[in-house]
Amino acid sequence: MVYAMRFLIFILLCILMSPLLIFGLIYYTLRIRRICVRHNISGTANEPYASRLMMHIAGARQDYAAYKIAGHLPSFDKLSKFLLIEILGFASKLSGYKGSFFAYPGQRPSTLMSMMSHRTDFFDRSIKESLTRTDNPAVQFVVLGAGYDTRCYDLSEVVDIQCFEVDMPPTLNSKIGALKSAGVPHDHVTFVETDFNQETWMEALLASGFDPNLTTYVLWEGVTMYLVEGAIRDTLNLVSSLPKGSTVGVDFFSADLVYGNPPYARISKAMHKSIKYYSEEIQFGVATAKTLSEGIEKLAGDSGLTLSRFEHVGSEEDKLPPWYFFAQIDNI
């Protein structure tokens, strides 16, 4: 009852402020096309970033660095930050509504609306456990396809750790610019330029001071779907060359979703069409085989790694069976 009231007030506030929200949405999408796409800056990097920003502004999950750099990014300049983030945050705070999109850690089974909360919570738990355990904790943290992920900046309050953020140069440079102009300290972070489809990130990392003899957590969130299978296998092989206790946290779409097999034909078509807006392409999905986790177990096993944690969005009873998987893969 209280939840329904809060939701109603939230919707009413959004309707009242809809001219500003609609203008903000148009302005934001134009910036994606005119600035991000034109300069090869990842547009899709804004989707998970915006979700974490929403969770922060609703008071569900703290992410001060994400909030600070908003207003300094190619997509979220000061105007789009105000028109979208601040206004939605105001509506959420005034109504007390923190459902679905704003929730953290969010409901289980998760849904299409709460999948980003589930994903964020899965990786937060996995990272925290690996970095803070007493026995052989990870002492290096690598974010592959970092986009606008801000864990390196919020982490530094919990543990003293050397961080590496790896991405393609245009996206990386837009982030460095935002960190500088927002005044977010980033001396503990080494930025490494690479293209996973062209070269190994390990070579680029080694040239930047990465120590392959230290136990490492590799966060590879929201990236595998944009790569070819060879690049994914190469990355897993590299993780298996790191010391025992090293981990990769990674998410996969299902092969059925990516290749449009029934019953995913319609949603697959819609997904590929929407990603084209960003001039990016979804390329890889993991085969699920008999059980949902079997394909990932096999992929990890082929590189001598072990699937230690596995969760998925949705429930096996849903009309569309789960198609989005979160995995912690360890070098045991």
Ligand X SMILES: C[S@@+](CC[C@H](N)C(=O)[O-])C[C@H]1O[C@@H](n2cnc3c(N)ncnc32)[C@H](O)[C@@H]1O
Q: How far is the CB of 86 from ligand X (least distance, A)?
A: 21
Q: How far is the CB of 42 from ligand X (least distance, A)?
A: 3
Q: How far is the CB of 13 from ligand X (least distance, A)?
A: 28
Of 63, 165, 167, 234, the one binding ligand X by CB under 6 A: 167
Binding to ligand X by residue 66, rule CB under 6 A? no
Closer Cβ to ligand X, 167 or 330, answer by number: 167
Of 121, 149, 165, 234, the one binding ligand X by CB under 6 A: 149
Q: How far is the CB of 145 from ligand X (least distance, A)?
A: 3
Q: Which of residues 266-325 bind ligand X (CB under 6 A)?
A: none
- Taking the CB of residue 229, how many other CB atoms lie within 10 A of it? 13
Selected range binding ligand X among 66-74, 87-95, 133-141, 216-224, rule: CB under 6 A:
216-224
Binding to ligand X by residue 152, rule CB under 6 A? no
Q: How far is the CB of 123 from ligand X (least distance, A)?
A: 8
Binding to ligand X by residue 226, rule CB under 6 A? yes
Of 136, 181, 197, 291, the one binding ligand X by CB under 6 A: 197
Closer Cβ to ligand X, 6 or 173, answer by number: 173
Of 67, 102, 191, 196, the one binding ligand X by CB under 6 A: 196
Closer Cβ to ligand X, 153 or 196, answer by number: 196
Q: How far is the CB of 311 from ligand X (least distance, A)?
A: 16
Q: Which of residues 6-45 bind ligand X (CB under 6 A)?
A: 42, 44-45
* Residue 261: alpha-carbon gap to chain centroid: 25
Q: Which of residues 108-147 bind ligand X (CB under 6 A)?
A: 145-147
Q: How far is the CB of 70 from ligand X (least distance, A)?
A: 13
3-state SS record for the chain: CHHHHHHHHHHHHHHHCHHHHHHHHHHHHHHHHHHHHCCCCCCCCHHHHHHHHHHHHCCCCCCHHHHHHCEECCCCEHHHHHHHHHHHHHHHHHHCCCCHHHCCCCCCCCCCCCHHHHHHHHHHHHHHHHHHCCCCCCCEEEEECCCCCCHHHHHCCCCCCEEEEEECHHHHHHHHHHHHHHCCCCCCEEEEECCCCCCCHHHHHHCCCCCCCCCEEEEECCCHHHCCHHHHHHHHHHHHCCCCCCEEEEEEEEHHHHHCCCCCHHHHHHHHHHHHCCCCCCCCCECCCCCCCHHHHHHHHHCCCEEEEEEECCCCCCCCCCCEEEEEEECC
Question: Which residues make up the interface to ligand X (CB under 6 A)?
Answer: 42, 44-45, 48-49, 145-149, 167-168, 171, 194-197, 221-223, 226-227
